[in-house]
Amino acid sequence: MAKETKKDPTELTIEEKLKNLYDLQTMLSEIDKIRTLRGELPLEVQDLEDEIEGLSTRIEKIQNEIVEAKRDIANRKSSIEANNATIEKYKEQLDNVRNNREYESLSKEIEFKELENQLSEKRIREANAAIDHKNQEIQHCNDEMTERRTDLDIKKSELDEIVTETKAEEEKLREKARNLETTIEPRLLSAFKRIRKNSRNGLGIVYVQRDACGGCFNKIPPQRQLDVRMRKKIIVCEYCGRIMIDPELAGVQYAQKVTEEKPKRRRRKTEE
C-alpha cells in the first residue's frame, strides 16, 4: 500500500488552513493550562535563586574587603615598627648633637614619626571595627541565605511534583503541536504566533459567538460574519486582530436560546 503524500501547506484550502490553525490553538491552550497549574512557582523559584546568588556575591565582596582591610592593618603595623626604629635612632642621635639647630631638627622628626604612629594606630582601630562589622554582615547574609535555600528547596519540591505529574502530557501535546505546525504555511504560522503572543489570554484564533469576536467580544458586522462562514479567505477581527473561524468548522456547539411564542388571544367576534 503506497504511503499518502504529505500535502504542501501552501496548497491547502482556506478551510483546511483554518481548521489546522484552530487545532493548533486547542493544543497550545492545553499547554497553557498546564503552565497555569504551576502558577507563580517557576517565577518564585527563579527569584529565590537570584536572591541566593546575590547574597553569595555580596558575601564574596565583603570577604574581599576584609582581606584588603587586614592587608592595610599589616602595612600600618610595619610602618609603626619602622617608625619606632627610626625614633630610637633619632633619640640616640640627640645625645650627640652639637648645636640647638640639630637638636630641634631631630626633635621635630621624632614628633612627626610619633604623629604618624598615632594616625596609623587610629586607622588600625577603625579597620578592626570595620572588620567586626563586616563579619557580622557576613553572618547575617549567611543566615538569610540559609532561609532562602530552605524556601527554595520547598518551592522546587512543589514545582518538581507538578512538573512530574504534567510532563508526559505536556510533551505529548508539544509533539502534536510541532507536527501540526508543519502543515501550516510559515507566513500564516508566523502571523498566528505574533497575534497569540500579543494576546493576554494566548488566543490567536477564535470562533464567532453570539455575533461577537470570541477574543475581545466586540460585535461583528453581519457581512463580516458571512465572510467568516463562507471560509473563502482569512478574516481577522478589526478590533483585536485575532483570526476568526466559523463555530461549525471549529467543531463548537453551543445551545441556542429558544423563545417560546406566547399563544395569541383570540378575539371574540362582536355580534352586530
pTM for this one?
A: 0.54
Question: What is the chain's Cα-based Rg?
Answer: 41
Q: Are 176 and 27 in contact (CB under 8 A)?
A: yes
Q: Please report the pLDDT score of residue 42 as a whole number.
A: 85
Q: Please report the pLDDT score of residue 265 as a whole number.
A: 55
Q: Provide the grid cell at 206.
A: 477564535
Low-confidence ranges of the chain (pLDDT < 70): 1-6, 254-272
Cβ neighbours around 196 below 10 Å, total: 20
SS3 207: strand
Of 206, 267, 271, 189, nearest to 241 (Cα)?
206
How many residues are given for the chain?
Answer: 272
Q: Name all domains of the chain by residue range, CATH numbers in brackets.
A: 38-178 (1.10.287.1490), 185-250 (no CATH)
Cβ neighbours around 160 below 10 Å, total: 13
Q: Please report the pLDDT score of residue 36 as a whole number.
A: 80
Q: Residue 160 and residue 14: Cα distance in Å, rounded? A: 42
Q: Are 144 and 55 in contact (CB under 8 A)?
A: yes
